[in-house]
Amino acid sequence: MSVQARNSNWAFMIKSGIGIVNRRVGNFRFLTILSLEYSLLKNTKSGYTLLHHILRSKPMNRLRLSVIVAALLVVCCQAVLLAGAHAAVEPRDALVMVIMRSFMGRRAGNGFVIGDGTLVVTAHHLVFGESGQGRHKMAGLVSVVSPYIGDGCEARIVAAEEELDLAVLRVPLLGHPALELAEERDILSAERLVVLGVPEIARSIGSGAREPRQEDLDGRSENLAVDYVAVRRRIPRFISLGETGQLGEGWSGSPMLLPDSAVAAGCFTALNTTKGDQRVRARGPAMSQIRRLLEDSDAGESLKAGDTRLPRPEDAVDAFLSFAQAYHHYLEHQHRQASERIEQLIRMRPESPFAYLMSASNAEVQRDYDLADQHFRKALALDPEAASARFFFAQSLAERRPDEALEMLESLWEHDVFKPSAALLMFNILAERGQFQRAGELLTEALKLNPRNAYLWMSLGSGQYASDQHDDAIANIAKAVELLPERGPFRGQLARMLEKAGRLDEAEKHFRELLNIEPDNPVVHLWLAQFLAKHRPEAKDEALKEAQIALELPPRKGLPKEKIEQLIQELQFQTTSDR
């Protein structure tokens, strides 16, 4: 039943109650009761205070009886309406898939809609590219796909807290079925919570895409006992579950629901092991933190439930599965199969910018640039404000039509959230033209917004090195390595720069650390072998060993086998001569 229909039913019942009261008492008493009913409806303190005084007064016994009847009518109506509102939302209808693309790769996971349909709650790690060992952090380009409507859209990060692993997205889905946020008292008193998600879909379209493509949309749920609720300043901060069930990969971002309701108490984000007893527990931020994050933002108003409801298309599930299967094939480099599914999706959603953006990306990797350009433009024609589509189109044009790409990227510069990504892409275009000063200015401006972005420091250092600012370059690339220590190419470039600068001990340290990061990369073994052969005469045996390992490993593009064999021959000759 729609909100308007429920309100009409409620109004009819209240009017009927007032009519009964009006026939039993005079006009004065009728006005008193009408005022009382309105106050009770609005749940105001004055209404309950008025009811308290009337019921305690000795005169006007007939009025007291009428008031009791009227008040009971209001309370019953409110209870019916509340039950109807809760029953109106099926929790699964509020679930969405969250997809992120960044320079560190792709991620996919769960999310759930709240408020008026324009807010999505998910895990912080699903929408930010982060280092597992350092402090690098970079917002990704995020999309949300809804099984309820069978379509996707661009999403903007409006609030996030890294410590809690919590993020809130803004999406143009006003009226989408949404979960309610649990009250603090209900979170604190909950003994069990139900975690609801679609982990198989998430695994099939996530990084690595190890799960087979899905043929249905059967979600999963786990009813788990609450271990404890952590509280800070009397506000629930995060929830720890004493059981894990089947939770694990593919569950991140799923709602933790009060049993038998569409009310979210928390958001599952991770499994963690307690130091004391080594028990594995599931945990996630409490929904009280959503109100705190949004209380001072423009998005706070969207927490209120809306009066409209998006209709559910009959083919919603089929359209969603077409997307999931197409994306799985795309990640598996099965582009012909991906094209077939995308064409099916476009037939079902001919006005979907998201469907055309998928088609353009798939056409681009197949070097069908005419189709890619056509569908990028179609996506932008359907949604001129789609910043992600503009960015990906510019990325596609960067090598083919760099001037057009730069023009598109400059149009994104006014959006702070896109500046880091735009700056990196603009750097690549400007560096090809030798315009390092302009590139450096853009990177410096982007770094003011996000000084923890290792890719910005790396690009800045590379531009400075090309401009013969070697000391500044080494310092900035060292910052990139500190922020993202597990990124092999960053450390390799720093090691070679340090070697050329004569800082041999530092260079050797990074060459050796690089072996731990990429032990199966023959280039890394060759670099260390070359370094030892040139600068460490006493380590010729180790250099020969590293060169032989490089030769035995599977070859890499750009590394001729003859180059490794030549180094081995030179080292063997030197070893023989020394003897």
pLDDT tens digits along 503-542: 999 999 999 999 999 999 999 999 999 999 999 999 989 9
CA distance 166 to 416: 20
Q: Are 240 and 282 in contact (CB under 8 A)?
A: yes
pLDDT at 66 (0 to 100): 55
Rounded to whole angstroms, how far apart are CA atoms 383 and 283? Answer: 38
How high is the pLDDT of residue 34?
A: 43
Q: If we measure between CA atoms, which residue out of 186, 195, 199 comes closest to residue 242? A: 195
How far from chain centre, in Å, is Cα 494? 31
Torsion over CA: 383, 111, 229, 82 (sign): positive
Cα-trace Rg, the chain: 31
pLDDT of residue 79: 47
Confidence check: pLDDT of 76 > 60: no
At 46, the pLDDT band (50, 70, 90 cuts) reads very low
Query: Looking at residues 257-268, what average pLDDT do you find?
Result: 96
Position 24 confidence tier, pLDDT thresholds 50, 70, 90: very low
CATH code of the region 91-303: 2.40.10.120
Lowest mean pLDDT among 171-175, 229-233, 337-341: 229-233
Domain ranges within the chain, ordered by starting residue: 3-88, 91-303, 315-380, 398-486, 507-579
| Percent of the residues in the chain that have a pLDDT greater than 90, as a whole number | 67
pLDDT digits (tens, 9 = 90+) for 244-255: 888 888 999 999
The pTM for the full model equals: 0.80
Whether the pLDDT of residue 19 is over 70: the answer is no
The CA–CA distances, whole Å, from 554 to 65, 260, 311, 544 equal 90, 55, 55, 18
204/78: higher pLDDT? 204
Q: Is the pLDDT of residue 70 over 70?
A: no
Mean pLDDT, the chain, whole residue set: 85
Question: How much is the pLDDT for 276?
Answer: 56
If one counts every other C-beta atom within 10 angstroms of the C-beta of residue 256, the result is 29
The encoded tokens of residue 561 equal: 């086998």
SS3 letters for 214-275? CCCCCCEEEEEEEEEEEEECCEEEEEEECCCCCCCCCCCCCEEECCCCCEEEEECCEEEECC
Report the pLDDT averaged over residues 395-401. Answer: 94
When pLDDT is cut at 50, 70 and 90, the band that residue 543 belongs to is: very high
Q: Say if domain 507-579 classifies as CATH 1.25.40.
A: yes
> Contact, 348 vs 315, CB < 8 A?
yes
Domain spanning 398-486, CATH architecture: Alpha Horseshoe (1.25)
Q: Which of 308, 310, 293, 287 is nearest to 114 (CA)?
A: 287
Query: Mapping DSSP to helix (H, G, I), strand (E, B) and coil, where does residue 98 land?
Result: strand
Give the Cα separation of 206 and 329 in Å (integer): 12
Two domains, one topology: 398-486 and 507-579: yes
CATH architecture observed for domain 315-380: Alpha Horseshoe (1.25)
Q: Is the pLDDT of residue 57 over 80?
A: no
pLDDT band at 274 (very low <50, low <70, confident <90, very high): low
Nearest alpha carbon to residue 97 among 165, 144, 149, 155: 144
Q: How confident is the model at residue 425 (pLDDT cuts 50, 70, 90)?
A: very high
- Percent of the chain's residues with pLDDT above 70: 81
Q: How far is CA 534 from the centre of its chain?
A: 47
